[in-house]
Structure 1
Amino acid sequence: MTQAESYDMIVVGAGISGLSLANHIARSGKKVLVVDAANKIGGCLNTCYKDDFWVEMGAHTFYATYTNLIDLIQKNGLEQDILAREKVGMKVFTDKHEKIMKGVNKFELMRSVPNLFFTKRDGKTVKEYFGKIVGPKNYDKVFTRMFSAVIVQNADNFSAEYFLKRRKTKSKKHPKSFILKKGMSSFMEALAAHQNIKVQLHTKINQLAKNSDGFKVLAESGEIYQSKDIALAVSPKIASKLIKGLNTDLSDVLAAYPIQSIETRTVVLPKEKLNFDPVSFIIPLQGSCFSMVTRDVMTHEKMRGFAFHFEENQISKDEQEKFMKDLLLVDSLGAETVETKHQLPLIKTGHSKSLSKIKLLAEETGIYITGNYFNGLSLEDCVERSKQEFERYAENCK
């Protein structure tokens, strides 16, 4: 084993939650080490680059309501890279591309929508809440697929309180929805570039331990890292394993979170190969593909790009490729696909109670913890949670 340099904070996990927390702490003057087992930073923000073209394989849009995230964009020098998304429509897919409301019974919808003013989200699943608002038949036929496309997992049992959350803040200076000139990953690079941050990839952490100087972090490679404080910004399953030696109660709560595994396949094709108009995304109304998200919101002279989000291990690679060809309305792809995998938590009803327990146990243990299983799955939810943990950290440092 070798003894490594000591830090004010070690953040385990280099996704948006970990890097936004690290950036806040670094800008306060502290020395931060960010470690991740992957070969690149970003987590679910994953841009596939091909020459001068790119397409997102994970999260793909920022919104004017993401004020905490916009603050980080500005403070890290990317304001000039903000681009409004071009206005292109969306489609559903049966055996062809169809209008987004195809299959929706308008009479049932009109009859059910008034329930919006009388139905509360508290304690309800997405299916229970929205089924009353759009009508049960409409929900089962169309909206279950639409909502599942939003969170890239089956939405039926997702907590309605944490789905499509209403936000009280909104920037009036930014487009309603926007992207960055060089893709989402450029935001991750900007967060990580602060002079007080060191990022170390290919580093799997096996164990955390407390000592007189704070925390000792043991890597699978044998390296030992020392820090005054520690923050976990990884999936709840990984966090549970790492925290077990520090607090078994916290470990057990984290281990209880169900996880949805997603496999994404991305392909970039010449414009002339495709015979359908630009579209922001297409939602299949059947099968194991949650959605096809496109780069058509930022026009390129020669290329178009597409990311297909599949539930992992549901169909074979060949079946996935056939589905991709069907959605693209082509006989063959004629190009290699790039593949990646993501894991997303399923936030169930009763989440707020679990959340309170996690926060209390984390404070008792003396650690910081963030991720997409706290305030919600959106990018703003992740950044908001990390800001809250930074504020707690800053208060503790006084």
Structure 2
Amino acid sequence: MMHVDMLIIGGGISGLGMAWHCQKAGLSTRVLEQHAQVGGLIASRQQPEQTGDFWLELGAHSAFNSYQELLAIVADCQLQSLITPKKSPPFKFFKAGKLQSLLKQIYWFSLLRALPRLFSLSKENLSVQDYYTQIMGEKTYDALMQHAFNAVLCQDARHFPADLLFRKRARARDTAKKFTFAAGMQHIARALAETLEKRGVLFHVETPVIRLEYRDHQFEITTADQRTFSSRFLTLATPVETAAQLLSFSFPSLATLLSQIKMATVHSVGVAVRKEEVRLPIVGGIIGADSPFYSVVSRDYLWDARYRGLTFHFKADFNDPLAQEQLIADLLGIKPSQFLWRDRKINQLPALTVDNLFDLAQITAQLQHLPLALIGNYFNGVSIEDCLVRTRGEFQRLQAQMGTLN
């Protein structure tokens, strides 16, 4: 049995962030990741035999200079040279089979009448629909903003807690407002993992965990290939449903609370095409209204003389690959045979509701004195920075239990 101070299950940005904190504190650390690469919902794709170094995203698309936790990790690992500023082409609205201006969806009179409530209305315990209907007016919310929020969250956002969206944060003025990394967002995940390995963190990819037990103040983990690991402390940096399954044996009360959080399925399809063949104007993205997709995110924010890339985030019930590809081709004004390549990823996202805030508060209370951290995109919000803020807080909680670490 292999023993360490900290076992981390999950190699997405949350798990990588926890590994960074642990190695800084001098803890022996292992990361178990079920897939072949780290990154989780950060997923950059390319096919060099078709389009060389051209890439596109099938998961998270951007970082911002308000992501202070991410930037601190990047700086400590000396990865600032990978930061690549993004331009901001305009977004469009797709309705009734046509691209339209976002501004044309706004009901200005009702918006201006409702907007003063922005300065007095609290988001606390309000859903996205309840809060933004009051500060924008029902007409503008129904016509535009509900679809914009669906696009941001890649799910029906009506019941999502309003205070988990768009937090105000200090900005790093020496960094571009919006950025990616030289070979896409997953570039930073891979580079961070490589740096952490050099610093002594051990990574085990393609290592699914099938059993978790806690006894005699030790965690014991069994993997699909029947290896066993043990540790003083454990971090679950997994989707919430995976965390619930793993905790069901030793922590059934936590597992029950976690199972109250439902998941939303998103079918993400990215295509690379020749630039001169596409009729679609340069866009940052497209918000879907009465369409089978929540959003289309374009690679037009980085100039390429030869190719364009677009990723369609389709709703769960629109999952026929041929139908997806035909819709993409129709929107681009080409045939599916003109795709240079396409790639797919099924993303699972937490579908939080205001009622789940009570569940999360109970989870936090139960974790208080346990040597167990739960991190991911179902606590503070779904952004990369939300995940890393949660990670720092959980590490500090565990650190208080550890006493002297060195």
**For this structure pair, what is the TM-score category when the shorter chain's length is used for normalisation?**
over 0.9
Give 1:52's aligned residue: 53
- Tell me the residue number matched to 1:284: 288
- Indicate the SS of the match to 2:105: coil
SS of corresponding position for 2:287: strand
- Provide the residue aligned with 1:268 in structure 2: 272
Residue 164 (structure 2) pairs with residue 177 (structure 1):
no
Give CA-to-partner distance per residue, 1:8-45, whole Å, 9 cap, x none.
21101111111111121122222211112222211110
| Residue pairs, 1:1-398, within 5 angstroms | 3=1, 5-50=2-47, 51-94=52-95, 95-167=97-169, 169-193=170-194, 194=196, 195=198, 196-212=200-216, 214-332=218-336, 334-335=338-339, 336-398=341-403
> 1:363 is aligned with what amino acid?
Q
How far apart, CA to CA, are the structure 2 residues paired with 1:379 and 1:385?
Answer: 10
CA–CA distance in structure 2, aligned partners of residues 151 and 316 of structure 1: 22
SS at match of 1:337: strand
> How far off is 1:213 after superposition?
6.3
- Give the Cα–Cα distance (whole angstroms) in 1 for the partners of residues 134 and 88 of structure 2: 30
Distance (Å, rounded) in 2 between the aligned partners of 1:315 and 1:394: 44
Partner of 2:42, secondary structure, is coil
In structure 1, the gaps of 5 or more residues are none
Determine helix, strand or coil for the equivalent of 2:338: coil
Code of the aligned partner of 1:38 = H
- Per mean C-alpha deviation after superposition, the further-off stretch among 306-315 and 327-336 is 327-336
Structure 1 residues 213 and 315, CA gap change in structure 2 (3 angstroms): closer
Retained in 1: the 8 A contact 2:318–2:324?
no
Deviates more, 1:146-155 or 1:170-179: 170-179
- Contact residue 209 and residue 222 of structure 2 kept, 8 A: yes
Deviations 1:54-88 (A, max 9, x none): 11111111111111111111112221221221131
User: Are the aligned partners of 1:92 and 1:284 in contact in 2 as well (CA < 8 Å)?
Assistant: yes
2: distance between equivalents of 1:96 and 1:392? 51
| Unaligned ranges ≥5, structure 2 | none
Calculate the TM-score normalised by the size of structure 1.
0.94
What whole-Å deviation, never above 9, does each CA across 1:256-314 have from its counterpart, x for those lacking one? 10110111001011111112332111112112201010111111121111111012233
Query: Residue 3 of structure 2 contacts residue 230 of structure 2 at CA under 8 Å; is this kept in 1?
Result: yes
TM-score, length basis structure 2: 0.93
Verify the 8 A CA contact 2:371 2:398 in the aligned structure 1: no
Distance 1:89 1:54 in 2: 21
What do residues 84-140 of structure 1 show as CA deviations (whole Å, max 9, x unaligned)?
211311111122222122222222222222222232211211111111222212212
Q: Percent identity?
A: 27
Per mean C-alpha deviation after superposition, the further-off stretch among 103-112 and 63-72 is: 103-112
Structure 2 vs 1, CA of residues 89 and 179 (structure 1 numbering), >3 Å: closer, same or farther? same
Superposition deviation, residue 326 in structure 1: 3.0
